Structure 1
Amino acid sequence: MVHIHGDSPLTGEEKAAADTLADDPSRRRFLGQAGLLGLGLASQSLAQNLAPTEKPSTPPEQRQPQSPEQRLGWAVVGLGEFALGQVLPALREARKSRLVALVSGSPEKARRVAEQNGVSPKNIYTYRNFDSIRDNPGIDVVYLVLPNGLHAEYSVRASRAGKHVMSEKPMATSSAEARQMIDAARTAGKKLMIAYRAQFEPRHVEVARLTQARVLGQPRQMMGEFVQNMGDPKQWRLDRELAGGGSLPDIGLYPLNFSRFVMGAEPTEVMAQIFTSPSDPRFREVEDRVAFTLQFPDGVVGSFMSGYSSHRSARFRVMSERGWADLDPAFQYEGNRLRVGRRVGQQEGTDQREVENKSQFVLEIDELSSAILENREPKTPGEEGLRDHLIMEAIYQSAREHRPVQPLGLAAVAGRRT
């Protein structure tokens, strides 16, 4: 079964919270508040330049992991379903990264997972002794798979411990927290990367290539949605302190970030509305549905929707002068489908694009290891997450004030852009 991020009350990254800080009395209130202590037809290409740039397959010798001493050591913080089902398998397949340590609030679970994954018992940590990772030279990178409200604290602590950091998205609960994470990594001389997996998924990369190369002409519009029906009102994603917001930072962030990646540019103006039923117990603290429009340079407009009370749907489409590129479904762990439509003369055709089925998780993990080994900035650094927070804050402001808002501070954010 293919799971979409957060498609049931405790699926995906959500279950990471079930073993987060359970042994830290000062933090148990978070778990108590969150209720988590208990747990198209294929056709020939329409034109030569529509062909994907990737080779049909990667030679087996290029897929093999490097020797252990050539791979960086990763510690995974949080052992929920997402970590167990996606992150750990990706680390087993990665060429430049390997699992060496675990951090969990459940020692019994950590021992079991360590046994299954060849992790030494001495490399099992709790949240109480997390800072002692500074004394383990075998840990190069810390991967945070925690509720959003804990990202900033543990990212800063990992940087101060002398470790590079991969943080799940959203990187924090505010732009202020995002800046704290960036500053801590910079002060420590370490890398900070945000796990925007869609920027590594081959079909998404192909949409960006087609759009930025103007293969289908000048882009005009984008449309996207990521909606799902959330269940248990006690889950941490509906707790503002832990989540930072509702559907927007959780799943609305996917079309938001991907639209920026596709365009290779930042929005100049946003307009938004929020729709939340006051009688629905799930939305006492966070929003349900968010409709937002992003205006990009050259008059390109993107219209997007996120929601927590609708049947699941995740789609994205770019419409250009001479055709379109459509991802439906989009944003899944597996099974995303890309179709491209184009008019040639008097004929229109649709091409279901086949690209190499590389793991987006392996690709993003090895990207950070490569950046560390090559001493360069990773593809999706902390600044990428900060820009998204600035845009989301403008979206919330627009919804409150019922007017268009220009995101502030985007141009001043240093670092690599999409």
Structure 2
Amino acid sequence: MDSRRNFLQKLGLSALAINLAPVTGWAKNKPVISDKPYDGPVLRVAMVGIGTYGNIVARALQASTKAKLVGVVSGTPSKVKDWQTKYGIPDKNVYNYDNFEDIKNNPDIDAIYFTVPNFLHQPYVLRGAKTGKFIISEKPLGRNAKEAQEIVDGCKKAGVKLLVGYRMHFEPKNLEIIAMRNAGDFGKIKYFTGNGGFRIGDPTQWRLDREKAGGGSMMDIGIYAVNGARYMVGEDPIWVTAQEPPKSDPVKFKEGVDETIMFQMGFPSGAVASCLSTYAMNNVDRFLLIGERGYAELNPANGYGPLKGRTNKGDLKAVSPPMQQTIQMDEMAGIFLEGKSPIVPVDGEEAVKDAKIIDAVYEAVKTGKKIPLKLS
């Protein structure tokens, strides 16, 4: 906990500039784009799971300079054909869910990115680790902290590097706020609020299935507030409390599938966070960080589109990218291939901490007690 906090506090605007590649400089909080074409190593990626989010990542890779889509794993041949046509994927780089471990014999693939439903993360990532390729898994890493830790341990045992799809850790406005906090612009941090949610639709989708999702809104949207509180405040929490109001539709939101949860976290410095995760409301997407001398706000805070933000000093200057996942993939390529260190960690240990907090939130809802946390 302390080492993570110290690491973040050592960073300032200069570090922010370095970690905004592919831009090559930062002048007066505005990106400086180089005309020099990128000629370094390129991360060659195979996607596992080509549903809604897999398609978003695939489109983002088209704009990436340091990573490119070269392979696909799917159980739906018709979708695979579409992807091959759209992205120029050769037959030799096409796999299904039964044989994708054969990727270990394919020298044209460097990394495997898993965008499958939550319940498949643990078994599929552990299979992927056996290939010896770099691994990227979407969050949450597992349906609980036990699964997340098993994934981390399995990747370590296989000797493969694991990253988790924390796109907001590379998003320029988030990084600008972190840099300002590190520079002392807000003074001692006192309070954070992180709200996220939307009105969920199709009642038959896997996100509303306890066994497949691991829960409800907390596993899908609440994780943004959990993780955002940690990197915005710059500390790991030491306790959590939580409440769950009555469900509006107990048929749609069955036992173990949370519709709305309010939760609070306390930090070693005395800062507190008050957060909301919901499948029942739109227009709640907001982060607010308050210090003794200033504040920072993102509204919206978690969406795929351009984020908007301001501080007590005015509007945030960092330019939101057309697709956050493009910067994410460029930066992950740098981590894998060049040994770069991100401002905010995106490794498996980071994901295990979030999973432990979510487990504690569910325990707090069930027991009504303040749950102590030990994340390191």
TM-score by length of 2: 0.88
Q: Which residue of 2 aligns with 1:357?
A: 320
Q: Which of 219, 232, 244 pairs up with 1:249?
A: 219
Q: Which residue of 2 aligns with 1:380?
A: 346
- Aligned mates of 2:173, 2:275 — CA distance in 1: 19
Would you say 1:367 and 2:331 are equivalent positions? yes
- Aligned mates of 2:60, 2:221 — CA distance in 1: 22
Q: Which residue of 2 aligns with 1:119?
A: 89
Secondary structure of the residue aligned to 1:294 is: strand
Would you say 1:141 and 2:111 are equivalent positions? yes
Q: Which residue of 2 aligns with 1:322?
A: 293
The offset of 1:270, in angstroms, is 0.7
Structure 1 residue runs of 5 or longer lacking an equivalent are 1-48, 343-350, 412-418
What is the correspondence of 1:35-184 to structure 2 with a 5 Å cutoff?
Answer: 54-55=26-27, 56-61=30-35, 64-66=37-39, 70-84=41-55, 86-184=56-154
Q: 1:279 to 1:352 in 2, by over 3 A?
A: closer
Q: Which residue of 2 aligns with 1:287?
A: 258
Secondary structure of the residue aligned to 2:97 is: coil
**Percent identity over paired residues:** 34
Secondary structure of the residue aligned to 1:177 is: helix
- Aligned mates of 1:279, 1:322 — CA distance in 2: 43
- Aligned mates of 2:270, 2:218 — CA distance in 1: 24
Amino acid at match of 1:249: M
- Aligned mates of 2:195, 2:305 — CA distance in 1: 18
Would you say 1:207 and 2:177 are equivalent positions? yes
Would you say 1:263 and 2:227 are equivalent positions? no
Structure 2 residue runs of 5 or longer lacking an equivalent are 1-12, 18-25
The offset of 1:263, in angstroms, is 2.1
The offset of 1:179, in angstroms, is 1.3
Whether the aligned pair in 2 keeps the contact of 1:326 and 1:339 (CA below 8 Å) is yes
- Aligned mates of 2:122, 2:325 — CA distance in 1: 22
Secondary structure of the residue aligned to 1:184 is: helix
Whether the aligned pair in 1 keeps the contact of 2:210 and 2:216 (CA below 8 Å) is yes
Secondary structure of the residue aligned to 1:165 is: strand
Q: 1:313 to 1:279 in 2, by over 3 A?
A: closer
Whether the aligned pair in 2 keeps the contact of 1:93 and 1:362 (CA below 8 Å) is yes
- Aligned mates of 2:238, 2:192 — CA distance in 1: 15
Whether the aligned pair in 1 keeps the contact of 2:45 and 2:68 (CA below 8 Å) is yes
Q: Which residue of 2 aligns with 1:22?
A: none
The offset of 1:269, in angstroms, is 0.9
- Aligned mates of 1:172, 1:120 — CA distance in 2: 31
The offset of 1:95, in angstroms, is 2.2
Secondary structure of the residue aligned to 2:295 is: strand
Q: Which residue of 2 aligns with 1:405?
A: 371
- Aligned mates of 1:152, 1:324 — CA distance in 2: 39
Amino acid at match of 2:133: K
The higher radius of gyration belongs to 1
Q: 1:212 to 1:297 in 2, by over 3 A?
A: farther
The offset of 1:138, in angstroms, is 1.2
Whether the aligned pair in 1 keeps the contact of 2:307 and 2:320 (CA below 8 Å) is no
Q: Which residue of 1 aligns with 2:5?
A: none
Aligned CA-pair RMSD:
1.9
The offset of 1:377, in angstroms, is 6.5
Secondary structure of the residue aligned to 2:252 is: helix
Q: Deviations over 1:77-102 (max 9, x none)?
A: 11112222x21122122222111101
Whether the aligned pair in 2 keeps the contact of 1:77 and 1:145 (CA below 8 Å) is yes
The offset of 1:217, in angstroms, is 1.2
Q: Deviations over 1:186-216 (max 9, x none)?
A: 1121110111111111111112222233212
Whether the aligned pair in 1 keeps the contact of 2:119 and 2:213 (CA below 8 Å) is yes
Secondary structure of the residue aligned to 2:358 is: helix
Q: Which of 183, 195, 208 pairs up with 2:165?
A: 195
Q: Which residue of 1 aligns with 2:23?
A: none
Whether the aligned pair in 2 keeps the contact of 1:276 and 1:283 (CA below 8 Å) is no
Secondary structure of the residue aligned to 1:143 is: strand
Amino acid at match of 1:397: E
The offset of 1:126, in angstroms, is 1.0
- Aligned mates of 1:253, 1:279 — CA distance in 2: 23
TM-score by length of 1: 0.79
Secondary structure of the residue aligned to 2:198 is: strand
The offset of 1:183, in angstroms, is 1.2
